[in-house]
Amino acid sequence: MPRILHAADLHLCEEDKAYGLAVFAELIETARAEQVDYLLFCGDLFDTFADAERLKGEVRRLLGSPPFEFLYLPGNHEEIRKGGGDLARLDLGAANLLAAAPWSLFRREHGGVPVEFLSVPHQESYSGYGSWPIPRKETRWRVALAHGLVAGLAYRGPDDEGGASALDPDLFQRFGVDYAALGHIHGARSQTLGSVTFAYPGSSRVWRRNESGARGAWLVDLPEQGPLRTPAFAPLRAAGQFRQYVLPLSLEGEPTDIDALAKEWGRADFILLRFTGIVEDEPAVAALADRLRIRYADRVRKFEIERDEVVALPGIAGQPLVRRFLEAWEQRVPAAGAPAFEERRADWLRARDLALAALKAGLERAV
């Protein structure tokens, strides 16, 4: 039974090559450990063509002589800063570059089971696919590799990566594809439309903000009999995770217990703390941010703090009406240890901030 590991969108770059190459090394090791026959990489292995030129030796070294076939389809990012360069002229070692446009079809066989691979590299438009002379499928399985946006897949949240043309799902259905190994969308998703299973593994690493959840690849088995099995997600721990926290501050500029949050952070994680709320002393918030950077920045890959949503109202607690409100409010704040304490406390802090803003506006109108 042929086995596939399907990944995409690693965006290897010179800027943080140690992190990206660590993820690539784990991807290769996962393919070895899972004893796959094919490792498919569906676009944006490199962030730019210039990065491919600089990092080709590292990729060649890590790939080595693998016991699987590495099929590499370029994406739209390999076109960036390309100039007159040609990816096919770079020595990528054991990587089998699938760059022939607009398509190519080839056959492989492992364990006595033949598989057809349809390669559809990134291009400005796929509108002429209806006239492509692609032969009928002659094997049990046909797997397509492509890099772009397939219309009609389930929406799973914002994904603003641009630069790719739309792929009509009919392209894959028309040419007898069973599994469409896709790249470009940075969130993992898998969906069956008609007879085709479309799958994006998401970005192999955290390339930017809001790429939440585990990063990884799809593990796909092609059985000799029966239907295609649901792909299994293989997480890549070296990629870490993007973790974002919205932290309402007290009037004194104190956040929730960050030490408790930090217990789940890993060395490869990207941490973003967003401070919100009303405070009396804005410089105290800046000092807090500096203390937190000193304490935590070396424990994770990236550590960022945003405080644009913090509003300073100096002296607000000294107003008699505000003092009475705060006394009543504090009597109703959920106690530590109560069910869903953190969620309820955040709601109460937001309610406090709304009330303080309203009281401030009322006091200003009364003056």
Contact 42, 71 (CB under 8 A): no
pLDDT score at 158: 46
Give the three-state DSSP class for 272.
strand
* Interior/surface letters 279-300, b for 16+ CB within 10 angstroms, e for the rest: bbeeeebeebbeebeeebeeeb
- Please, what are the averages of pLDDT over each run of 10 residues along the chain (367 residues)? 96 96 98 98 97 97 97 95 91 96 94 93 90 95 95 58 76 97 95 94 95 96 90 98 91 84 96 90 92 97 94 77 78 64 68 76 66
Tell me the three-class secondary structure of 147-202, residue by residue: ECEECCCCCCCCCCCCCCCEECHHHHHHCCCCEEEEECCCCCEEEEECCEEEEECC
Q: Between vectors from CA 247 to CA 243 and to CA 250, what angle results, nearest 5°? A: 160
Task: Give the integer Cα–Cα distance in Å for 57 and 148.
Answer: 27
pLDDT score at 45: 98
- In degrees and rounded to multiples of 5, residue 298 shows phi and psi of -80, -5
Task: Give the integer Cα–Cα distance in Å for 250 and 348.
Answer: 11
How many CB atoms are closer than 10 A to CB 328? Answer: 9
Contact 303, 296 (CB under 8 A): yes
pLDDT score at 338: 57
> Which long-range CB contacts under 8 A does 315-323 form with residues at least 24 apart?
315/280, 316/251, 316/278, 316/280, 316/356, 316/359, 316/360, 317/251, 317/280, 319/359, 319/363, 321/359, 321/363, 322/356, 322/359
Domains in the chain (CATH in brackets) are 3-239 (3.60.21.10), 242-366 (no CATH)
The type of residue at 175 is: F
Q: Look at the pTM and tell me if it is higher than 0.85.
A: yes
pLDDT score at 363: 66
* Interior/surface letters 39-54, b for 16+ CB within 10 angstroms, e for the rest: bbbbbbbbbbbbbbbe
List C-alpha distances in Å: 163 to 62, 76, 82, 123, 214: 29, 6, 15, 10, 24
The rounded Cα 240 to chain-centroid distance in angstroms is 10
Residue 222 buriedness (CB in 10 A; 0-12 / 13-18 / 19+): buried
pLDDT score at 277: 83
pLDDT score at 102: 95
List C-alpha distances in Å: 161 to 119, 204, 309: 22, 14, 26
Strand partners, 145: 119, 181
Give tens-digit pLDDT for 175-210: 999 999 999 999 999 999 999 999 999 999 999 999
